[in-house]
Structure 1
């Protein structure tokens, strides 16, 4: 159950009528915005509470520390989606190339194009200074994401759709372009020439074309394998 549904009934009144309390979902929304805007180190608990319109004491009733608040934000917006994605891929009936296309496009739609993608930039920027939250992100996001991509690639190899691959490293061929897209989005496009702003859909389609042309099995010259 999403954390936004855990609030008591009295907290579910229209927002204007209840400024002394806030349900967890409002606190998580405020925390996500601030973590993305300011980073982990610079975000203060009282700022999150103020943006949600409650006291710091109310915030700590739900989340006893900034670290626990950050973990809840990650679970609500990113890692909590893996069960849903697992079910989608289990029931996927198309080719593995289509599954890779679906994976990258849906990731952008559900995570990359939303404020939640800023969490990745935060982790890249601050992991060295906050090893505990980096380890948490590794366990909750990076590891399950890589496992899911690994299974997709393995499916393609086993079905004869992809050539034999070094699966462990081929995973990064899918992950790296998406990380670049996130960093471009949240770093004011520093890596992209100003004369042509990066269009996310065109970028993903171009990456898919390059990636899949390198993965798909092609008949050898003369029709021999």
Structure 2
């Protein structure tokens, strides 16, 4: 057993590509924060979990706050909407809605998304400055991009002043509903091509698509009728 110890020590000191080491650190931080809570977790705990010295960890992150911020940015990524105005074969409101729901599903199926969302909910009152920073640097720019992309796509479809264009945040309602459901009932969708849905998941997905399609087609002035 003792003969193996030097080999393990050598492995932990192995120089890894920065992206691999960063992934290890954030994976370790996610586990430590989930087990201990943000306040009780020390940089030493994260370093130990991923096989780094404390100095090695500080070479990547100056503080625990920076680790938490990086974890939010990595695991709570928002859909890439750059292709929304072009959409290829999507020539109807339902086609746009299908595309949006597919982007949301792709984000939710990334490893760690639901676990990080659970952490965000649990720790938001303890680290409001980090949550606010994430909102300002990630969420708000994404919302602006979403509004612009939806406006262009809707104009192309002839429904420029629709409810969804007027209130673009509604496009993210399926993501929030899905994550809250997963937090309550503990079921996380599995990543991978050709993933099948349970009947309830398929029904929810159809509901998301139908809702977004209706909101995209409904004129905004119809809200007041």
TM-score, length of structure 1 as denominator length: 0.68
Aligned to 1:9: none
Aligned to 2:46: 48
Question: Could you say if the C-alpha distance between residues 76 and 210 of structure 1 is closer, same or farther in structure 2, counting changes exceeding 3 Å?
Answer: closer
Q: Answer whether contact 1:28 1:73 (CA < 8 A) is retained.
A: yes
2:125 is paired with a residue of what secondary structure? coil
Question: Could you say if the C-alpha distance between residues 34 and 177 of structure 1 is closer, same or farther in structure 2, counting changes exceeding 3 Å?
Answer: farther
Worse-matched range after superposition: 110-119 or 62-71: 110-119
Aligned to 1:102: 99
2:59 is paired with a residue of what secondary structure? helix
User: Are residue 18 (structure 1) and residue 11 (structure 2) matched?
Assistant: yes
**Stretches of structure 1 lacking an aligned partner (at least 5 in a row):** 1-14, 191-196, 219-225
Aligned to 1:31: 29
Distance 2:199 2:166 in 1: 26
Distance 2:186 2:87 in 1: 34
Residue-by-residue CA offset, 1:102-153 (whole Å, 9 max, x unaligned):
2222222233553123333333443333221012110232112212321233
Q: Answer whether contact 2:163 2:215 (CA < 8 A) is retained.
A: no
Aligned to 2:84: 89
Aligned residues: 195
Distance 2:36 2:103 in 1: 27
Distance 2:178 2:53 in 1: 37
Aligned to 2:174: 177
When the two chains are superposed, the root-mean-square deviation of aligned CA atoms in Å is 3.4
Q: Answer whether contact 2:43 2:54 (CA < 8 A) is retained.
A: yes
Q: Answer whether contact 1:162 1:215 (CA < 8 A) is retained.
A: yes
Distance 1:151 1:145 in 2: 10
Residue-by-residue CA offset, 1:179-207 (whole Å, 9 max, x unaligned):
121122123359xxxxxx88444422222
Question: Could you say if the C-alpha distance between residues 38 and 183 of structure 1 is closer, same or farther in structure 2, counting changes exceeding 3 Å?
Answer: farther
1:62 is paired with a residue of what secondary structure? coil
Q: Answer whether contact 1:32 1:73 (CA < 8 A) is retained.
A: yes
TM-score, length of structure 2 as denominator length: 0.68
Distance 2:40 2:206 in 1: 36
User: Are residue 137 (structure 1) and residue 134 (structure 2) matched?
Assistant: yes
User: Are residue 155 (structure 1) and residue 152 (structure 2) matched?
Assistant: yes
Aligned to 1:222: none
Q: Answer whether contact 1:49 1:59 (CA < 8 A) is retained.
A: yes
Q: Answer whether contact 2:26 2:67 (CA < 8 A) is retained.
A: yes
Aligned to 1:5: none
